[in-house]
Amino acid sequence: MKSLEHAAVGAVAGAVAALAVDPPGSLPLLVAGAVFASVFIDLDHFVIARVQRGDWANLRLAVTNPRVGLLDQERVFEEFDTEFDRKRLLSHHLVGGVAVGALALSGLGSLAAFLAVVLYVHVVCDFLRDLGIA
């Protein structure tokens, strides 16, 4: 999904999760945090692309060409196959698991549950897009 789509879905998921789980913080702050998490977890794609390609060409493309980086994001990783897709989804699970686990171990269980819901929705949306459903 594109960043703007993830931001919109993250805002809805964040609002629902905030109301359901009742973590510490105001609703606007929690929704903003959900949008941030929903969009910025995708930065792991650039690390995976770096490992596969051996250079930062994909990051350079997104940063130096704002039209591609913001509006035509499919072009940034179009050269990669389904192996890349599996790695990026695995990376989301690993990053999310560590973040949620760290919050839970820090005694912030309700915030951990909130983040888990937001990232779960992000990954499901990625799966739906990859399957051509959404």
In this structure, are residues 32 and 39 in contact, taking their beta carbons and an 8 Å threshold?
Answer: no
Longest dimension (CA), the chain: 44
Closest to 38 measured CA to CA, from 105, 95, 80:
95
Q: Could you read off the pLDDT tens digit of each residue along the chain, which spans 134 residues?
A: 888 999 999 999 999 999 999 999 999 999 999 999 999 999 999 999 999 999 999 999 999 998 888 888 889 999 998 899 899 999 999 999 999 999 999 999 999 999 999 999 999 999 999 899 98
